[in-house]
């Protein structure tokens, strides 16, 4: 049997080092599997590589009424905003499919047909790279 | 004479029943359409001006006489959906290639992997002057046409334009989809 080992790329290492400390406390407070939140950040923030979002401290792609992404003073403020707006709707969710059901109910993205299928793939990538990067 | 009158009464009765049945059917159809629209656009807001997405660097024009909707804030802004009719839409959207599909071909492969149509026709195409891939899927009376393109900047952006229609409405909806495809533009990404 061939075993594929994923390498831990530098951008993924940076992602876990910077995002896990931000997301983990919220995941604990909400009793949500933190990997689901990490997958959402990876998807909306291109694994923390989006320079524009970096300047806005906006890791969840949160928007203004006009459609552009909101600027937060800090990453913590962005996480706090997300928890305040979405926390009650995802509280206690531990599985990928339950999370997707909740996100659909919220209408997190009602525009593209393949969003949640791609989200499943991003979630698998998070699990894969978390292991490869030995992110704890 | 009496039997003639009875026959006429019978015919009038049948006519009234047929009319009532048609009216009831129309009422049910309207209710089903209303429910579908409510579910589809529950968390969306109308868009009235040409759509421009700074985050993902693309834009499309509005279509005359066609309603369009985008995600309701504070949800992320990924694109726009045009409402053509009951179960008939055009969606134009973008996401980061966080799943690391890596190419337009792979993007379409993954898109198609979750679909199980009766037939698929796949071909190369061009979107905003760059190579893209398209597929037409038919399942019963439903026709889906999808055009995808991966933008190879940064970690990549996946553009996806989808027409969902019926075989009956395909010709007129396809003409609208062609207008959207022709009007699709990409812009410099914010840095």
CATH code for position A113: 1.10.530.10
What is the share, in percent, of chain A residues with pLDDT greater than 90?
81
- H-run or E-run covering B37: helix B2-40
- Domain around A18: 10-132
Angle at which helices A10-30 and A115-132 cross, to 10°: 110
Mean pLDDT of all residues belonging to chain B:
91
Whether A4 is covered by a domain: the verdict is no
How confident is residue B51, by pLDDT bands cut at 50, 70 and 90? very high
Choose, out of A66, A112, A125, A127, the residue to mutate when testing the contact with B (most B CBs < 10 Å): A112
The average pLDDT across B152-160 equals 92
Burial of B13 (0-12, 13-18, 19+ CB in 10 A): exposed
Instruction: Quote the pTM value.
Output: 0.89
pLDDT at B16: 75
CB B124 within 8 A of CB B133: yes
Whether A33 is covered by a domain: the verdict is yes
Q: Is the pLDDT of residue B87 over 90?
A: yes
Contact A117 B95 (CB under 8 A): no
DSSP classification of residue A69: B
Q: Is the pLDDT of residue A86 over 90?
A: yes
Whether A45 is covered by a domain: the verdict is yes
Q: Is the pLDDT of residue A102 over 50?
A: yes
pLDDT at B6: 74
Nearest-by-CA chain A residue for B144: A113
State the ipTM, two decimals.
Answer: 0.93
Q: Does A106 touch chain B (CB under 8 A)?
A: yes
Which of A118-127, B12-21, B109-118 has the lowest average pLDDT? Answer: B12-21
Q: Is the pLDDT of residue B14 over 80?
A: no
Q: What's the total number of domains in chain A?
A: 1
Choose, out of B55, B101, B144, the residue to mutate when testing the contact with A (most A CBs < 10 Å): B55
Nearest-neighbour CA in chain A from B161: distance (Å): 8
Contact A110 B71 (CB under 8 A): yes
Q: Is the pLDDT of residue B24 over 70?
A: no
Whether A3 is covered by a domain: the verdict is no
Q: Does B174 touch chain A (CB under 8 A)?
A: no
């Amino acid at each position: 049997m061939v075993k594929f080992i994923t390498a831990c790329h530098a951008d993924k290492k940076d992602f876990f080092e910077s995002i896990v400390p931000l997301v983990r406390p919220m995941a604990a407070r909400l009793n949500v599997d933190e990997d689901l939140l990490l997958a959402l950040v990876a998807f909306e923030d291109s694994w923390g590589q989006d320079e524009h979002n970096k300047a806005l401290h906006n890791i969840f792609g949160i928007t203004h009424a006009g459609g552009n992404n909101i600027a937060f003073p800090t990453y913590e403020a962005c996480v706090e905003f997300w928890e305040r707006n979405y926390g009650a709707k995802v509280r206690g969710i531990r599985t990928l499919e339950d999370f997707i059901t909740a996100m659909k109910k919220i209408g997190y993205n009602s525009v593209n047909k393949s969003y949640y299928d791609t989200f499943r793939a991003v979630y698998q990538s998070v699990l894969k790279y978390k292991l490869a990067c030995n992110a704890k | 004479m009496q039997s003639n009158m009875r026959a006429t009464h019978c015919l009038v009765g049948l006519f009234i029943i047929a009319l009532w049945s048609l009216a009831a059917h129309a009422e049910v159809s309207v209710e089903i359409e209303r429910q579908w629209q409510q579910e589809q656009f529950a968390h969306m807001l109308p868009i009235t001006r040409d759509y421009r997405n700074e985050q993902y660097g693309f834009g499309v024009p509005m279509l005359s006489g066609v309603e369009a909707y985008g995600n309701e804030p504070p949800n992320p802004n990924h694109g726009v959906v045009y409402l053509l009719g009951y179960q008939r839409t055009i969606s134009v959207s973008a996401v980061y290639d966080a799943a690391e599909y890596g190419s337009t071909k792979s993007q379409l492969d993954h898109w198609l992997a979750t679909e199980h149509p009766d037939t698929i026709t796949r071909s190369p195409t061009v979107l905003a002057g760059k190579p893209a891939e398209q597929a037409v899927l038919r399942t019963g009376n439903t026709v889906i046409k999808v055009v995808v393109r991966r933008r190879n900047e940064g970690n990549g952006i996946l553009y996806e334009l989808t027409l969902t229609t019926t075989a009956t409405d395909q010709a007129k909806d396809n003409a609208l989809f062609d207008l959207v495809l022709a009007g699709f533009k990409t812009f410099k990404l914010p840095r």
